[in-house]
Structure 1
Amino acid sequence: MEIVLDFDFKLDKNIVINTLKSYCEFITDEEISSMYEKLLPILYSSVQPAGVFTITPKDEDFTFDVVQDCNHIVYCVITMGDRCTDEVNKLFNLGNMKEGMVLDAMATSYLFEISSQLFNHVLNKSNELGMGLSCRIAPGDGEIPLWYQKNILDKLDAGNFLGIYMVDDCMLSSLRSMAYIYGADKKREFSKKDHDCSKCNNRDYCSMRKVSS
């Protein structure tokens, strides 16, 4: 099992602006930009990024159609901790709705950045083992069910290492967290592609997609 704590703090303001514009039309670009700069130090001081992953032979009870051509599974969990969620809630409780929404979008964007950085570690490890990878597969996105998050958490002992559990309605106990997998196999081509937006069920709604609708 690999534990990763050395994540860079990187954020793309344009992604944050586009994310907010996709569902929040009453905040202007200028407002978002101004609040982004104001809230950036708060986000920086509140995030506690961590990731855990392991590459193991695929269990016989993994019966889903996805990655049938792979004989290994890469189990991954990332988190940025709960302090950022506390900061977002504090803004909402004070009635600073716009700032709360901007900080929430910033946190979401950084969580995906953590995922991208963890992928580089996964890629290096799989290359060492001579294995190619599938794209990232997230429970609930249509390829594997949402309840499979518990299997991922159990594989990584995420409760002990990160304090993350699955709670009611298949939610993770730490909101700024993600659990997902990759397929891995020596017969797969080597690829540096983390996510295939063209095959994602959310591509028509996602402000961070990298393909045309």
Structure 2
Amino acid sequence: MFNIELDKNEILRYLGHRGQEIDTNTETMIDNCIEEIKKISRYRYVYKIFDIKVGYHDAVSCIDVVGTSLRLEGNDIYEHLRECRKCAVMAVTLGIEVDNSIRIAQGNDMLKAVVMDSCATEFIEKVCDEVEKKIKAEAEVLGKGTNLRFSPGYGDLPIDIQKNLLDVLDANRKIGLTVTNSSLMIPGKSVTAIIGFTENISFKKKKSKCDICSMRENCMFRKGGTTCERGRVYKA
């Protein structure tokens, strides 16, 4: 298990905080929700590393994940992985207990529900960060670097690959993560992503992912003059 510490400043940003004063009751609620989310979360994760082939299918840019039926189509994922020959496919979930607690709060105290949702978002991002560290360490053993997490629904990578992606990871059996016919993951507080293995072990991010983010036009962070600072999409 990871030693996860939640950043209250990140939670406040998810809540739309712009530096205004926080009353004592709200601050206490945030602290209580942090502890509750940490207590009830049963986070689990799975990832696998694959060789990939870069090319085209029916004149569409795509990445084939070798040894699987998973094909990643779209210009954005192509640009993300075109210089890679391996990638990691990962899935993370906080568990159904978190979904249930947020749902109960929605019926009793909507403010608490919103705060819990923000705490859960920060929690799963921190778990994803820890999984990414493990993947990066495996890449370094191979003499490779890694690029950023790239999730279905980001840019022009279709969200409907979720089922195939989860099947490739055997995520239902291993971490209890499934997907509906409309490509929504259950539990809802879950993330899937692809990380490319780069030839340059000291690879650095060169371009803001805001340019191709699917939430770019409606992003509350950009409207407030900031960014999400994570450079990747979050699907809840």
TM over 0.5: yes
Secondary structure, aligned partner of 2:193: strand
Pair 1:92–1:198, CA change in 2 (3 A): closer
**Which whole-Å CA distance do the structure 1 matches of 2:190 and 2:159 have between them?**
14
Aligned to 2:6: 11
Q: In the alignment, is the contact (CA less than 8 A) between 2:49 and 2:89 conserved in 1?
A: yes
Aligned match for 1:210, one of 206, 214, 229: 229
Pair 1:200–1:34, CA change in 2 (3 A): farther
Which residues of structure 2 form unaligned runs of 5+?
54-63, 65-70, 222-226, 231-236
The Cα shift of 1:83 comes to 0.6
Alignment of 1:147-162 (within 5 A): 147-162=160-175
**Which whole-Å CA distance do the structure 2 matches of 1:44 and 1:63 have between them?**
36
Structure 1-normalised TM-score? 0.83
**Which whole-Å CA distance do the structure 2 matches of 1:169 and 1:192 have between them?**
35
Alignment-mate amino acid for residue 187 of structure 2: S
Structure 2-normalised TM-score? 0.75
Pair 1:199–1:188, CA change in 2 (3 A): farther
Aligned length: 200
The Cα shift of 1:200 comes to 4.9
Pair 1:63–1:199, CA change in 2 (3 A): same
Aligned match for 2:192, one of 179, 183, 195: 179
Aligned to 1:91: 105
Correspondence 1:142 to 2:155:
yes
Alignment-mate amino acid for residue 55 of structure 1: I
The Cα shift of 1:90 comes to 1.2
Aligned to 1:51: 45
Secondary structure, aligned partner of 2:4: coil
Q: In the alignment, is the contact (CA less than 8 A) between 1:17 and 1:33 conserved in 2?
A: no
Q: CA RMSD in A?
A: 2.6
**Which whole-Å CA distance do the structure 1 matches of 2:111 and 2:196 have between them?**
40
**Which whole-Å CA distance do the structure 2 matches of 1:72 and 1:127 have between them?**
13
Alignment of 1:76-155 (within 5 A): 76-94=90-108, 96-155=109-168
Q: In the alignment, is the contact (CA less than 8 A) between 1:73 and 1:183 conserved in 2?
A: yes
**Which whole-Å CA distance do the structure 2 matches of 1:122 and 1:199 have between them?**
26
Pair 1:139–1:148, CA change in 2 (3 A): same
Alignment-mate amino acid for residue 81 of structure 1: G
Which residues of structure 1 form unaligned runs of 5+?
1-5
Pair 1:200–1:119, CA change in 2 (3 A): farther
Pair 1:147–1:85, CA change in 2 (3 A): same
Pair 1:173–1:198, CA change in 2 (3 A): closer
The Cα shift of 1:107 comes to 0.6
Question: Which portions of structure 1, spanning 4 or more consecutive aligned residues, are displaced by more than 4 angstroms?
Answer: 195-200
